[in-house]
Amino acid sequence: MSRGPTALVVAAALSALAPARAGEAEAGAPREFQRRGVYFLEGHVRSPLAGLGPRGEFAANRLALDDDRTRARWDPRGRKLVLTNTTRYEEETQVACVLVLGTGTSESGEQVPIGVHLSVYKQDDEFVTTMHGHVTVREGIEHADFLPLQVVLDDGQRRTVALTKTIGLRAVRNPFEDSTLATVIGLKGVDNLEGAEVDITQPGAHLADGSVGMGRGFLSKLVLRAELISLDGSRPLAPGQPWAEIFGQGAYELRLTALSSLLPKEPWDRNVFLLGLDDVAMLRPLRADGLADGQTLSFVFRGGEGTIRFAGQTHVVKDAAEVVRRYLEFDFVGGIIRHQLERRLRPR
């Protein structure tokens, strides 16, 4: 059974293992995950933000377990992830999600970041799944490289295959084929700086600026804006220099701003969980009520440490680099602005 809940659509719009070599990542022993939390699986694709924060450079695949009743077993050799949940739920409840990052080749031959996102729910005794692709350009994707894992769902009575390499490729080429609601409302990503000349050396330069919109034609409405700002100015990266190194110098701000009252509030509680900010008390109103029209949530960081700003309050976050990395790697809009950032830091 598969359908697309509202929370999934907006969550798509809003994403620590020791470093390992690609060969070691795939040859590791099976691992068990049994508690609510966010975990990272290693594969052969190097993380696009390797070097930012403590996470391993091949830890480019995310597993989130939403409660302690869902268990996972990951077999790197067999590239098989089994999610087990035998609980009965009265209402449709999200129990897990899997997001695999990779690279794709667009129709014009450009190498671009892509992602495959599987969300897993349960209602009564039955699993409910929905799938979408994370894409960063409007043109189609011809080829894609990502961890070819198989995801199996086990309800205690039967097992169902929910994700394979073939299913993932289809999601990348038709990002919202499996989400009827996303198709109906016209979910789309927008590059606010497309065609603009930006002097990245200037303090306050926008390195990236993307929005997500809903609707079609004159009914189209932008609902969320994401900006990455270089507070001290930046320099273009030299050939061969890892582009994540840009964050080792100067200060940066990531801003998320609601552009409409149409932006639903439901996904924010889970978004905070996925970013690893469950214990930040000042974000409780955000988790309960979402971002109001015109309201901004921002992360200011320098050298891996920084602060969260929301509703006139600030909170120090020591691992701010990991928070920002999670957003830029695993979030739908985050991936779009990360691609903008790559283009701007390493001009052709």
pLDDT at 183: 39
The arrangement of secondary structure in 188-345, i.e. its CATH architecture, is: 3-Layer(bba) Sandwich (3.50)
- Provide the residue ranges of all domains of the chain, joining segments of one domain with +: 6-182, 188-345
- Answering whether pTM is above 0.75, one says yes
Burial grade of 54 (CB within 10 A; 0-12, 13-18, 19 or more): middle
Contacts of 229 (CB under 8 A, 6+ apart): 204, 205, 206, 207, 252, 253, 254, 255
Angle between helical axes of 320-330 and 332-345 (0-180°, round to 10): 100
Q: Report whether 315 contacts 306 (CB < 8 A).
A: no
What's the pLDDT at 188?
63
pLDDT truncated to tens, each residue of the chain (348 aa)?
444 333 333 343 343 233 333 333 445 889 999 999 999 999 999 998 888 888 999 999 999 999 999 999 999 999 999 999 999 999 999 999 999 999 989 888 888 888 999 999 999 999 999 988 887 776 778 889 999 999 999 999 999 999 999 999 998 888 655 544 343 334 566 778 888 889 999 999 999 998 887 665 544 688 899 999 999 999 888 887 887 788 878 899 999 999 999 888 888 999 999 999 999 999 999 999 999 999 999 999 887 689 999 999 999 998 888 898 999 999 888 888 888 888 888 766
Report CA torsion sign: 325, 81, 114, 192: negative
Q: How many CB atoms lie within 10 A of CB 22?
A: 14
Q: Is 158 exposed, middle or buried (0-12, 13-18, 19+ CB in 10 A)?
A: exposed
pLDDT reported for residue 232 = 94
| b/e sequence 177-191, b meaning 16+ C-beta within 10 Å | ebbeebeebebbbbb
